[in-house]
Amino acid sequence: YYVFGAAADAGLWPVAAAGLVASVVAAFYYLRILKLMWFDAPVDDIATDAAPVEAKWIGWACAAFAFPLVIVGLTWLEPLTKVASAGFGNG
């Protein structure tokens, strides 16, 4: 409410109108999702089969490669942040 009022006070009526339209569209979208989740009857014809073996291996491979990447990234990130902080005069 305050953002739209500030835009209108500044004379930015097109921006305020675009924001209002975007808010209405977003509200419709999220309220529809809430309606589907809470008020509609569940659909029983959804396949509940287990994932294929290939998909499980792909998931394990992604996890196996992501974990070391995150660890290496975190160990290299801390010294780089100190260098950047010193460059801005904070260290």
Spans of all domains in the chain? 1-48, 51-91
User: What pLDDT shows up at residue 11?
Assistant: 92
What's the predicted TM-score (pTM) here? 0.46
Taking CA atoms, 51 is separated from 33, 57, 59, 63, in Å, by 26, 10, 10, 16
Instruction: For 13-32, write each residue's pLDDT tens digit.
Output: 999 999 999 999 999 999 99
The token duo for 4 is 């739209």
Task: Report the chain's mean pLDDT, rounded to a whole number.
Answer: 86
Beta carbons within 10 angstroms of residue 8's beta carbon: 14
